[in-house]
Amino acid sequence: MNLEYSEEYVAFRAEVREFLQGWPLTGDEAQLPVHEQEIRFRRRGIERGYVYRNFPRAYGGSEQTPDVLRERIIREEYAEASAPGDSAGQGPSMLAPTLLELGTEAQRERFIAPTLAGEISWCQGYSEPGAGSDLASLQTRAELQGDEWVINGHKIWTTTAHEADFMFGLFRTEPQAPKHAGISYLLVDMKAPGIEIRPLREMTGASMFNEVFFDNVRTPAENIVGKRGEGWQVSRATLKHERNLIGDPNFMRRAYLSLLQLARDTTRNGRPAIEDPSIRQELAQIEGFFMSLEYTGARLLTATARNEEAKVILPMMTMKLYGTDLRQRITRLALDLLENRSLIAPTEEEGSHGAPEGRPGTWTADYMSAIAISIAGGASNIQRNIIGERALGLPRDLRTPK
Ligand SMILES: Cc1cc2nc3c(=O)[nH]c(=O)nc-3n(C[C@H](O)[C@H](O)[C@H](O)COP(=O)(O)OP(=O)(O)OC[C@H]3O[C@@H](n4cnc5c(N)ncnc54)[C@H](O)[C@@H]3O)c2cc1C
């Protein structure tokens, strides 16, 4: 089996790499706020056909013919250059594909392009204090009064609610209906009167997620995605994209490369740690899992590009489950290598960083995040249930009454 890229793809990689030399921006553009710089560079990537390849041009994407290898090369090169490409934010990665699939034309036109560019930011309002894994138990009410929904209740664990312009969320609109059938999927302006956001402090020291309280918050009737009472089905579409995002092998690639560097920079028994047989053994195992994750990612891309829905579910769940397990394993080894330095508490900035990159605090923070990420978007046990039931056809788990 020859796993080398053909000449065409080698040339394509060189072309992408050359383009990426334009990041970070230089000259006058380097003086712009970072967010503005990211928007500009992302737009250039869209023009070149590298970014948002599967979104139509009419909605701000670059509408390219599906090509799994090109896709993979682009992701790898963007990750290597730490350049702003397909955004990992909840809006571009979760809401925009959902609107493309199930939104009205007016919703697509209004929201998708600015969301992809990063001009409108979003948070996801699903979980509540009594509704996490058992999400359909959610109680936050939305009542249709004239041409507006009036919302009352309480969401929790809402990542970036404090920065977001809008929320996409699930609300109970049919309280008498069976629990999965009484839910609608609404878009809510986070500046609307009656919204109160209280930050929650995480063990990393950062406050990325929040509680959100709704006191007679109004949102226009047309801000419903899908039909009234069918929000559960719409939410499945969004969650599908979230799970895909969480197992992102590019993040893992950066973390793994940082881990290798750390093994070179630290010592064991007076020699570079990377020469220690037990460390090499663990690194080799991690690399094996990491490579299988990358190939699973390629299978997922292939199935998605071919619209083979039935073949998507297993690699998608595997990516989330094994991606988050692997991240825990990588960070655990990093803390072993850092020895006493792993006890240094991360600073607030280190607590809200991206992939770990050298400083002990970023590793400690990522070790903590790795545990949290195993829960976000559906805890690992829930992923195992889904793999068992939907991909392997095992008998269904016991369910609470509907
Ligand atoms: C970092 C992070 C970011 C998040 N961001 C958001 C966000 O932006 N928006 C949002 O809406 N939510 C968000 N969440 C919430 C997340 O979706 C929930 O935490 C998750 O679904 C689990 O729900 P829970 O916390 O209520 O735990 P529970 O549902 O109470 O689960 C507790 C434990 O029981 C196990 N368990 C539960 N049911 C079963 C079962 N049927 N079979 C086997 N085991 C089971 C779980 O695996 C888990 O180990 C975030 C969470 C984290 C950690």
Q: What would the pLDDT profile of 55-98 be if each residue is shown by its tens digit? A: 999 999 999 998 888 988 998 899 889 899 988 788 998 999 99
Q: Which amino acid is at 221?
A: A
Give the contacts of 327 (CB within 8 A, at least 6 positions apart): 251, 252, 255, 366, 370, 373
Is residue 339 flagged as an active site residue? no
CATH second-level architecture of 247-391?
Up-down Bundle (1.20)
What is the C-alpha separation between 256 and 277, in angstroms, rounded?
A: 18
User: Among 95, 126, 127, 327, which is best to mutate for testing ligand 1, by the most ligand atoms less than 8 A from CB?
Assistant: 127
**Using a 6 Å cutoff on CB, does residue 375 contact ligand 1?**
yes
* Shortest-distance Cα residue to atom 2 of ligand 1: 376
CA distance 361 to 394: 42
pLDDT at 130: 92
Residue 159 bridge partners (DSSP)? 209
Residue 190 has pLDDT above 90, yes or no: yes
Q: Is the CB of 209 under 6 A from ligand 1?
A: yes
Q: pLDDT (tens digit, 9 = 90+) per residue, 205-235? A: 888 899 999 999 999 999 999 999 999 999 9
Alpha helices in 26-170, H assignment, sequence order: 34-48, 68-81, 90, 96-102, 105-107, 113-117
CB-ligand 1 contact for 239 (6 Å cutoff)? no
Judge whether residue 401 has pLDDT over 60: no
Q: What pLDDT, on the 0 to 100 scale, is given for residue 352?
A: 62
Check residue 293 and give its pLDDT. Answer: 87
Please give the C-alpha separations between residue 189 and each of 65, 163, 165, 197, in angstroms, as whole numbers: 35, 12, 6, 13
Q: Please list the alpha-helical segments (H only) found in 266-359.
A: 277-305, 309-338, 348-351
Spatial separation of the C-alpha atoms in residues 178 and 365, rounded to whole Å:
41
Compute, in angstroms, the gap from residue 111 CA to the centroid of ligand 1: 28
pLDDT at 300: 80
pLDDT exceeds 70 at position 5: yes
Task: Please name the amino acid found at residue 196.
Answer: E
CA of 130 to the centre of ligand 1 (A): 10
Measured in whole angstroms, the distance separating CA 168 from the mean position of its chain's CA atoms is 15
Phi, psi (rounded to 5 degrees) for 159 = -65, 135
Per DSSP, the residues of 14-57 read: HHHHHHHTT-S--GGGGGS-HHHHHHHHHHHHHHHT-SSTTS-G
From the candidates 242, 308, 309, 349, give the one annotated as an active-site residue: 242
Q: Is the pLDDT of residue 253 over 60?
A: yes
Q: Is 124 in the pocket of ligand 1 (CB under 6 A)?
A: yes
Atom of ligand 1 nearest to the CA of 161: 8
Question: What are the boundaries of each domain within the chain?
Answer: 7-81, 122-229, 247-391
- Ligand 1: centre distance to CA 67 (Å): 34
- Average pLDDT across the chain, whole number: 89
Instruction: Report yes or no: 117 and 84 within 8 Å, Cβ to Cβ.
Output: no
pLDDT-derived band at 30 (thresholds 50, 70, 90) equals very high
Residue type, 286: I
Question: In whole angstroms, what is the distance from residue 63 CA to residue 50 CA?
Answer: 10
As separate numbers, helices (DSSP H) first and strands (DSSP E) second, the chain gives: 14, 10
- For ligand 1, what atom is nearest to the CA of residue 381? 47
Q: Is 158 in the pocket of ligand 1 (CB under 6 A)?
A: yes
pTM of the model: 0.89
pLDDT in tens, 315-360: 878 888 888 999 999 999 999 999 988 887 777 666 665 556 667 7
Backbone angles phi, psi at 221, to 5 degrees: -55, -35
Alpha-carbon separation of residue 35 from 7, 25, 39, 119 (angstroms): 36, 12, 6, 9
CATH superfamily of 122-229: Butyryl-CoA Dehydrogenase, subunit A, domain 2 (2.40.110.10)
Which of the two residues, 251 and 268, has the higher pLDDT score?
Answer: 268
